[in-house]
Structure 1
Amino acid sequence: MLLPRMKLARLFDAAFHAMADTHWVVLFLLIAFHAASTWVLFTVSGETELTGPATFFYWYATTAYTVGYGDLSPSTNSGRLITALWVFPGAIAAFTTVVAKVLAAIGEVWRLRRAGKGDYSGMNQSIVLIGYNAARTPKMIAELCSDLSQAQTLILLTRQTLAEPDPRVRYVQSDSLTSTEALTRAGVREASRVLVFTDSDSDTLAATLAATALAPASAHVICYFEDEDHARLIDQHCPQVEVILSAGPELVARACKDPGASQVISALTSHLDASATLFSLRWPDRPARPFGDLARVLLDHGATLLAIQPGHDTSPTFNPPSERRVEPGDRLFYIASNRLDASGLAG
């Protein structure tokens, strides 16, 4: 008696592992075959109350899900034997296999993303941060997340392997910051903004050139350099890229001439610890308005208008004449405690 039981246990174990290793299409075909054969056996055994399409689907599903409400059950001895020997082993095994495969797929996606191997190429309007500096990148992430819209996602592409990635960002690890495959996985092709900030100017130069070649024309690409020569190369070859050059020596000299200037500049560039921060907005497709008129409107909203950057130019103009017209597409720079909605100002 023990030998047949062992053989039966091995048979069920082999069947379960075979189902677990099968493709989704094969698995659903097996489930469909099992359900159809059950319906045929019930029809032959005279289970007329369970063979109606809706009734049978409901009974089979609750049985497979192991819910077992008890409102429907076989009424004949043959139907009960079919349920015990055929329906229970097959339906429950199929259900648990589906659950196991779904959980395994979710776990695999989670594992790949945590290891930096996720694919975010399908994301739109994301912000891609290329490079990692242990001292500066975490602060940059905090600054970005403090003013990040709900529709945007921050994606970090780095060569470093991060044991504990920041939960606020999607993490992509690659041996190369210029790899087309890595940049694509990080979503550069559909990004709204790309920030390049690495440990060295040579890496920043290479990554900026590679990202600019992949990013859409509408994307805003920003890069940071310590050395002026590297910054000049980007200006020459990629004039649409916004280059940020280290202002250390200039800031020291300015603080010497105007005490406290460095604190003011630092406060205007941070959104975390300041009561007033530098923001910008693009004037919407509305009638043009004089700069002085808009300055008064912003003042009523608790903001101070500083400069205007025409849509076709890269150089902002500070304190233009009051009668200067602000056209659709022009960018306005202002100081405020919170970001303003351009549509509310235009109304």
Structure 2
Amino acid sequence: MPILYRLLVKFYREFLELKWWLLCLAGLAFFAISWLLFHVAGEEELTSNFSVYVYFAATTASTVGYGDYSPQTEAGRLVAALWFFPGSLLIFSAALGWLAGSMVERIRRMADGYGNYENMKGATVIVGYNRDHTHLMIENLIAGQDGDDKIVLLTKSSEAELAEGVYLVKAERLDALASLKRAAIRQANKVLVYAGSDAETFNTCLAIRELNETLHIAAFFDDRDTARRAAQIAGLEAIVSNASEALVRAAQDPGAGNILMALSAANVGATIYSAAVGGTVSITALTAALANNDASLIALSGPGDSDYRFLPFPEHLHVGGSFYYLCSARLTAKQISKGLGDVPVIV
């Protein structure tokens, strides 16, 4: 008896919560009983063909009511009026309500930062939220025209204000693997880390590298030594504030500080962009190809090099090398490669 009582209580709770399995079971039972009643009532046209019965049940339950199939016998009409019409409407309404409720709940969870974007491919992920800088980062990502159409923000902040189209993921810890997975790190295109402290940034970068060994990571650090260690251990591009250098440049060369700021922002004047070559190219040809697009070559780096070459440049840039140029907008590979012959350009 206690077992039966517990089963009844569980069934009652599931019924009140409109569990999907219970809804499916009730729907199957109702339409099976209805078919039996119509069959007994002599409605051969409705019950002799399975597809006809399903069609009749669907059009009736959804209130479409085409009328091309309907009960013909008096008994069949009574079954329809007293049993099938109210029951099918109840089942259809309950199913529609469950579906709508599930969709609303999913949308609400995503808006509140509890969605799961693990299967999203090619996303740009921002880890950490700063009220003064994150919005500017998003603006520059979009202005940089580098395919950043899917931006995911992973944050601990409960007061994060998002730009339109940015996906939000909230977590208690930025370096938690489960949270990073939800934020699409495994299949991301690039990630920017701007956490509350260098220690948190370091740990987060290590966790990201654990999930994705090839992902390009750009991380901000306050301390230069920590930045250097993080770059060596986690294989990332560490950014350290150059405020002191910019301040000296502004003092010694008026206007230089503003120029440095403009070169870093994709939505202000000319900006520094990068690309790589898939073959050996002469610097003369590369400089001419860029000039044809109103761009200027400013630096080079060889394959695997951590140092950068400025003027005077070597005669050639070899396969896998990168070049950096100034332009008002990012150039496409097709625009640059027009003057380089068969050498492919990777942007």
What TM bracket, shorter-length normalisation? 0.7 to 0.9
Shift of 1:134: 1.3
Instruction: Give yes or no for the alignment of 1:180 onto 2:171.
Output: no
After superposition, the CA RMSD in angstroms is: 2.6
Shift of 1:18: 6.2
Q: Distance in 2 between matches of 1:111 and 1:209?
A: 31
Instruction: Give yes or no for the alignment of 1:46 onto 2:38.
Output: no
Shift of 1:65: 0.9
Partner-residue secondary structure (3-state), 2:195: coil
Q: Using a 3 Å threshold, how does the CA distance of structure 1 residues 191 and 297 change in structure 2: closer, same or farther?
A: same
Retained in 1: the 8 A contact 2:144–2:329?
no
Instruction: Give yes or no for the alignment of 1:269 onto 2:225.
Output: no
Alignment coverage as a number of residue pairs = 327
1:164-203 equivalences under 5 Å are: 164-203=161-200
1:234-245 equivalences under 5 Å are: 234-238=230-234, 240-245=235-240
Shift of 1:293: 0.6
Which has the higher mean CA deviation after the structures are superposed, 62-71 or 302-311? 302-311
- Tell me what 1:70 maps to: 67
Q: Distance in 2 between matches of 1:97 and 1:282?
A: 58
Q: Distance in 2 between matches of 1:32 and 1:310?
A: 68
Q: Which runs of 4+ in 1 moved over 6 A?
A: 15-18
Equivalent residue in structure 1 for 2:84, among 75, 84, 87: 87
Which has the higher mean CA deviation after the structures are superposed, 314-323 or 136-145? 314-323
Q: Distance in 1 between matches of 2:307 and 2:165?
A: 33
Q: Using a 3 Å threshold, how does the CA distance of structure 1 residues 200 and 73 change in structure 2: closer, same or farther?
A: same
Partner-residue secondary structure (3-state), 2:64: coil
- Tell me what 1:12 maps to: none
Instruction: Give yes or no for the alignment of 1:317 onto 2:313.
Output: no
Shift of 1:334: 1.6
- Tell me what 1:254 maps to: 249
Instruction: Give yes or no for the alignment of 1:119 onto 2:113.
Output: no
Q: TM-score, normalised by structure 2?
A: 0.85
- Tell me what 1:8 maps to: none
- Tell me what 2:29 maps to: 33
Partner-residue secondary structure (3-state), 2:269: coil
Unaligned stretches of 5+ in structure 1? 1-14
- Tell me what 1:335 maps to: 326
- What CA deviation, in whole Å up to 9, does each residue of 1:274-301 have, x standing for no partner? 2322212233x4x432122122112212
Shift of 1:222: 0.9
Q: Distance in 1 between matches of 2:164 and 2:256?
A: 35
Unaligned stretches of 5+ in structure 2? 1-10, 339-347
Which has the higher mean CA deviation after the structures are superposed, 180-189 or 125-134? 180-189
Equivalent residue in structure 1 for 2:293, among 301, 304, 326: 301
- What CA deviation, in whole Å up to 9, does each residue of 1:62-98 have, x standing for no partner? 1111122333322221111111122112221221111
Counterpart residue type for residue 27 of structure 2: I
Equivalent residue in structure 2 for 1:345, among 336, 340, 346: 336
Q: Distance in 1 between matches of 2:53 and 2:111?
A: 43
Q: TM-score, normalised by structure 1?
A: 0.85
Shift of 1:233: 2.6
